[in-house]
Structure 1
Amino acid sequence: MEQKVAFICEWNSGKYTITELCKAFGISRPTGYRLISRYEKHGIQGLLEQSNKPINHSNRTKAEVEEKILSLKKKHDKWGAKKLHTLLFKYFAEKDIPSIITVQNLLSRHGLVCPQKLLRRVKPVHPIFAPKRKNILPPLFCTFM
């Protein structure tokens, strides 16, 4: 922030060109012009860091669909995303219904589902088959001989 203010102060003095200022401060000319335009529009507050986060998301699920998913989950608390997804076809057009994964993410965001335990797999015993010579198949595959 201090460097931005110093850049604007030097620019306001009128002693240097923008190219010279940008070279001295180690920034590109488009960045320098961006700082100047923000300063002219918003004053010193315009020099603060601004979020790059988009204001709107084009694929966001509609609010009424989200509310319906949450109300159906509260009504049928044992049902998961797949069943709730199929129920949505009664209430909304197909183009408005989100995918099963989106329904699952919405439910987990609101804390309405608990993650399932992962099944432990049995570790294989190595070696499974120890051949005595090359190109020998395990006994399981040698049924035709």
Structure 2
Amino acid sequence: MKWFIYLYPKSWRRRYGTELIEVIKQTDMSFKTIFDLLLGVIDAWHIELREREIYGFRMSQVLALISLINVLIISKLISLREVILLEQIALIVAMLSFFLAIVVLIVNMFKVGIIPAFSIKTRLAKISVGLMGSYAIFFVTFLVLAN
């Protein structure tokens, strides 16, 4: 039953691992004990993931997906007519992303203040940075298509 400890997050194992091993040694192997351990694993991971700052990671995944879609669209272009339409779409999306990033930044400044708004500690700041990244990607796409 010691292998149950490896299902828990690493930080949890460092803090409570030896205690859990001692408790497992002293208890009998029953369905209720296994069920309680599995519920503990779920609870520990829930707390671990909630405590981590994963919004920036998710935003980077979105930006990577947007970049991949841009690369695929550019690589599949056939005629000049598609390039012109795609060029316009890229510019519109870039400007919309820029506008939304500025709006989110201003809302964040009113919500938490000017100095904290420019840090990456708030969720709105992370969203604003992500939108600026999206703007950069679509603007570069526009420039590539325009040339």
Normalised TM-score (structure 1): 0.27
Structure with larger RCO (C-alpha < 8 A, sep 6+): 2
Is the radius of gyration larger for structure 1 or structure 2? 1
In terms of fraction of residues, the more helix-rich structure is 2
